[in-house]
C-alpha cells in the first residue's frame, strides 16, 4: 500500500485532480478505495468541476468500493459567429 498521508487521500486527490488530462473524451476514471474514503473522494470529484456522471461499485460485502467518475464534456466559452 502507498503512504497516502494522514487521511490516506494524498494520492487519491492527485489522481482525481490529474485524471482528466489522461482520459479520452468522456472517459471514465475508476479508483478502488477504502469505503471510509469515498465521501472525501466524491467531494473532490464534485469540487473539481471536471467530471460529470459519477457512480459507485459495491464490493462483496455490499460496501461502496470503487468510485467511477466520467470526464465532463468540454464546452467552449466562445460562441461561433461572435467576435
Whether the per-residue pLDDT at 82 is higher than 70: the answer is no
Edge to edge, what strands does the sheet with 64-71 contain? 28-32, 64-71, 51-58
Residues 12-43 pLDDT 10s: 999 999 999 999 999 999 999 999 999 999 99
Read off the C-alpha cell for 71: 470526464
Residues 51-79 pLDDT 10s: 999 999 999 999 999 999 999 986 544 44
Amino acid at each position: 500500500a502507498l503512504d497516502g498521508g494522514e487521511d490516506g487521500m494524498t494520492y487519491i486527490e492527485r489522481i482525481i485532480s490529474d485524471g482528466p488530462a489522461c482520459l479520452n473524451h468522456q472517459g471514465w476514471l475508476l479508483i478502488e478505495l477504502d469505503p471510509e474514503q469515498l465521501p472525501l473522494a466524491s467531494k473532490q470529484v464534485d469540487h473539481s468541476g471536471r467530471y460529470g456522471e459519477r457512480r459507485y461499485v459495491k464490493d462483496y460485502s455490499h460496501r461502496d468500493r470503487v468510485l467511477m467518475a466520467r470526464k465532463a464534456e468540454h464546452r467552449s466559452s466562445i460562441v461561433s459567429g461572435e467576435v
